Amino acid sequence: MELQAAMPVAFPVVALVTTTREVLTELLGGCSVPANAVRTGRRYDQGELVDPGRVLTLAEQETTIVGADLVGPDYGRSGPFYRLVVGDKDDGAFFYVSAYPAYPEFDEPARTILLCIPDRTCVGVAVGAATTLAAAIRGGGQIEECQLDLFPVVDPHAAIQALRLPDAGTGFVDQCVRFVRAIRSLNGWPSTANAASWPSSWPS
């Protein structure tokens, strides 16, 4: 699944990290959110994790720009994958940036899009939502697409107000479960809090 945000303005990774935590705190009704980090260099071999990558230092977060250093062909140039995780369970969401050129003949301007792929857990979905909203806020843009039918509006600030939980609840993971259960398209998934941490429990 992917969540997308348009970003007319580039910004450093540290701004995405800070704003993601602020947005996540608000989405979860003021709940205390564990520290987050950004990892890079994660590698898989035939679907198996072979290298978890490393955490970006603060200096790297300040100098790595979301929307810069894009690579690949002229259409849909994509930068490297990063992973934003919250807490000590390596739970969170991948994100990367793609740039699309302008097509005047179709009245399509050039666009820079952050694509976010959350883990199939309640924490992952909540982190993915917060990361996408934070990218739209910092990038001066809007929500572009959501395969979960999660965002009710394209304006990120209005989306936060529409999605936020009314209270801080009893803890971070429990609040993430509540947040995901409120997504209508998931039909009440997960049925139990314990199921929230298992990819196999994701609704088909």
C-alpha distances (whole Å) from 34 to each of 13, 21, 101 are 18, 8, 38
Angle of helix 122-138 relative to helix 156-163, nearest 10 degrees? Answer: 150
Residue 199 has pLDDT above 60, yes or no: no
Give dist(CA 74, CA 64) in Å, integer.
22
Express each pLDDT in 17-71 by its tens digit: 999 999 999 999 999 999 999 998 877 776 777 777 799 999 999 999 888 666 5
Compute the distance between CA of residue 195 and CA of residue 123 in angstroms, rounded to an integer. Answer: 12
Each residue of 87-103: pLDDT tens digit?
877 889 999 998 888 88
Look at residue 69 in the predicted model and tell me its pLDDT.
62
